[in-house]
Structure 1
């Protein structure tokens, strides 16, 4: 008799001493629900995961990993299994693999991990002033983890961020209680960790959580007594105003923050100043104010000549980042000449993945404006290749794909596959 192959989740259940039936009784679900979880065809809901983790005697992070690996193992039946179950005399044609089969499952698993981690992230924020006891490194020892979190955000690795941020934020809260000097350093690191957390919350539609994270970022930056961190908070805060359509307040907040950037002789200060102005240019473009947009772009170009491309206080700025925002402004203003100039350039591969995908997402919108539907489709494919998790969750991607579907009486297989992947209609 052949050995029975268990998925990682089923193996963990057996190791904990449960049958499917007994685990179902413990969790108050149907046995068939346990079976679907173990086959990777369905994931436990966020509120079911703490109980499942307790039953299996694993941490929530470990449960997330079990579920992710189980989803990866969820494949179609083997050819041998199909042959064994087929009626005698039936001619079999091996089924074609679903389009993008291997690539599709991974983002779905990551999305599950991200949504499951949101309650843990909320709890970590609830306890910022009363963190749980635990090991606490010095601020210097935490620098590496903060750098990794910032890189994960910039490279669109949201699953990795979601798994690690709750524990990292809790440790930073403990580090902030070690003394006055540690308070400032830990507050600066906490600001950057909250910045990374907002990258997850905003991208995945948790707008209330995003607004809360931005408020906490501002408080932490004030404790850090770092004006450049406050500039970064003003940059990120624009998301809130974009979400509620309050463009005038967004413009005022960005301009006020730019006026308070100190000592433009340093690269970091010039980068903060330039980032605020390139963000303000996009706000002005969306508000239909070309003159104001041009003024802000001029200030941003002046700053970009003084600094190399890089990441400054959690925000990318430099000549290439500015070019990407120039395209965004041209798209907002529906400026054909500006679009043509921006489209003649392509972002270098060493730019952060999220920023490169932004360029192609905006370029797709631009190509639609110009009636170049095939070019728009190719741009969306490039965005997906650059940063799949970011592209898949971006509302403008779904809007562009919906437009393409409506304008094609017979959409290509590639367009249909891309639309299905992004859940566009």
Structure 2
């Protein structure tokens, strides 16, 4: 009988193995599996049988149910608004009749939505974006010439803000659809830097599908097509693609490619000031945050690098809230894997103070909060309250 498929089971096994401070060889020995089987399961290349899952869970001292299924997040008003957002993009090519504001007002509205995204204000996006997307679609089909190109660029910006909500709240099919619409509208804007930003966002679809090697290839193709780095915007566009490539290479367990792309991003960041370029924060501080992300993605011997970065540096308050909270979420994971449970809980609380919605909806936060509660290494009441807040099981 073939093994049942439990999506993401390999990542959950790797996570709990690191919490148990076990190597892959130790897990193989303790569970009676071969080292090759453990490696393939963690990489998602093989589905374990139920008997193997039970043996692996027993070896790590966890409930087998935690390996089989991710907990379902609690519903929020944002979840409830996702169907309205989906309906708004269904008629992108045949929008309903309605009012259209002047271009300057549409520009201001799209810019405001981009600021909400960077500040992780997802409820505002979910409430306001459906009407804006419908209005921008009407404006696009009514415009011509240079005005149509600018409206296309505004559509990309607005789709990206909507995608942030869809992706982070687990609506990955809707996110992929929004990415497709970004790729449809970007050529109409005739701006190669906008196309590079869309390639950056498209990586979400590869993360969601855990197709990390394919995502790395897509980013490397985007780097080949990106303009030469002669202006600050061009430098930032290439640097952001290298940052993204470093992280997905880490998820693909390609340490060499991860370090090469991280080094390229670091070198480019030395030539620009930290800022938001085409909707993506880039500069020396963003690259440093991605050093932590790459280290956590690679795991094993690389986690110490994440802790080294955090000992010497903290993200400045001028960075977007979403990026700063992400730093502490990933740092918490590195601390937890290193046996620093109390420090991990402190990092999660910092992430919550910076960007509550981003932190609450992050699947790693729910997973790590549940683990911390079981370990009982921090104040039990505060930890229980935190775990309930983020719907950790």
Q: Give the TM-score taking structure 1 as reference length.
A: 0.72
1:131 paired residue number: 95
Matched, 1:142 2:106: yes
Contact 1:175 1:182 in 2 (8 A): no
1:375 paired residue number: 343
1:295 paired residue number: 260
Matched, 1:282 2:247: yes
Q: 1:409 to 1:179 in 2, by over 3 A?
A: closer
1:242 paired residue number: 207
1:263, distance to aligned residue in structure 2 (A): 3.3
1:409, distance to aligned residue in structure 2 (A): 7.8
1:410, distance to aligned residue in structure 2 (A): 8.4
Higher RCO, Cα 8 Å, sep 6+: 2
2:79 paired residue number: 115
Contact 2:206 2:214 in 1 (8 A): yes
Structure 2 residue ranges without an equivalent (≥5) = 1-73
Q: SS in structure 1 opposite 2:186? A: helix
Matched, 1:308 2:309: no
Contact 1:398 1:424 in 2 (8 A): yes
Contact 2:342 2:377 in 1 (8 A): no
Contact 2:341 2:377 in 1 (8 A): no
Contact 1:405 1:411 in 2 (8 A): no
1:327 paired residue number: 292
Matched, 1:162 2:126: yes
Matched, 1:342 2:309: yes
Partners of 2:131 and 2:100 in 1: how far apart? 11
Spell out, residue by residue over 1:377-416, the C-alpha distance to the aligned partner (whole angstroms, 9 max, x if none): 0000000000000000000001111211222288611111
Partners of 2:76 and 2:354 in 1: how far apart? 21
Partners of 2:148 and 2:269 in 1: how far apart? 33
Following TM superposition, the consecutive aligned residue runs of length 4 or more in structure 1 with deviations greater than 3 angstroms are none
1:97-112 correspondence to structure 2 within 5 Å:
112=76
Q: Which one has a bigger Cα radius of gyration? A: 1
1:364 to 297, 318, 332: 332
Partners of 2:339 and 2:260 in 1: how far apart? 29
Structure 1 residue ranges without an equivalent (≥5) = 1-107
Spell out, residue by residue over 1:88-114, the C-alpha distance to the aligned partner (whole angstroms, 9 max, x if none): xxxxxxxxxxxxxxxxxxxx9xx6432
Partners of 1:293 and 1:190 in 2: how far apart? 32
RMSD (Å), alpha carbons: 1.5
1:208-219 correspondence to structure 2 within 5 Å:
208-219=173-184
1:376, distance to aligned residue in structure 2 (A): 0.2
Contact 2:345 2:378 in 1 (8 A): no
Spell out, residue by residue over 1:299-347, the C-alpha distance to the aligned partner (whole angstroms, 9 max, x if none): 1011111111111111111111111110011112221441232112111
Contact 2:88 2:134 in 1 (8 A): yes
Q: SS in structure 2 opposite 1:240? A: helix
Spell out, residue by residue over 1:185-237, the C-alpha distance to the aligned partner (whole angstroms, 9 max, x if none): 10000001000000000111111100100000000101111111111111111
Contact 1:286 1:333 in 2 (8 A): yes
1:405 to 370, 373, 376: 373
1:388 paired residue number: 356
Partners of 1:280 and 1:357 in 2: how far apart? 20
Q: SS in structure 2 opposite 1:316? A: strand
